Amino acid sequence: LAKTTQPISMDSYEGQEVNITCSHNNIATNDYITWYQQFPSQGPRFIIQGYKTKVTNEVASLFIPADRKSSTLSLPRVSLSDTAVYYCLVGDRSARSGGYNKLIFGAGTRLAVHP
């Protein structure tokens, strides 16, 4: 199973860059790395997804080293509204299920942004 490990919590201040690192030592060759954001009483929201090197979109960047055993979500200039739980996921590809996966969520990282 491609289990992920993230810090339980992080604190930051408005305007700072936040980097959240996720470890996934057993990532499979074809697996992608996906990050979600969740606010209280809402469903997780897709942030970014990548396979290797670097991916950037309008809200975040994702850095993946060559060995792909970890990844770092980078949030530039965070604001109070970025206070949320961030989940790192790696697809679990099971041969028994015919290649279909079930997403395994870890505990996530609780990010608190302070004024």
Partner 1 sequence: KAGVTQTPRYLIKTRGQQVTLSCSPISGHRSVSWYQQTPGQGLQFLFEYFSETQRNKGNFPGRFSGRQFSNSRSEMNVSTLELGDSALYLCASSLEPSSGNQPQHFGDGTRLSIL
Residue 63 — φ and ψ, nearest 5°?
-110, 130
- Out of 10, 23, 92, 110, the only residue in the binding site for partner 1 (CB under 8 A) is 92
Q: Is 23 in the site for partner 1 (CB under 8 A)?
A: no
81 part of the interface to partner 1, by CB under 8 A: no
CB of 66 to partner 1, least distance (A): 19
Task: Check binding of 80 to partner 1 (CB under 8 A).
Answer: no
Selection from 75, 99, 103 nearest residue 89 by Cα: 103
Give, as ranges, the residues between 37 and 56 that touch partner 1 (CB under 8 A): 41-46, 49
| Cβ atoms of residues 2 and 92 within 8 Å | yes
Selected range binding partner 1 among 3-11, 12-20, 66-74, 82-90, rule: CB under 8 A: 82-90
- Site residues (vs partner 1, CB under 8 A): 30-32, 34, 36, 41-46, 49, 87, 89-94, 97-108
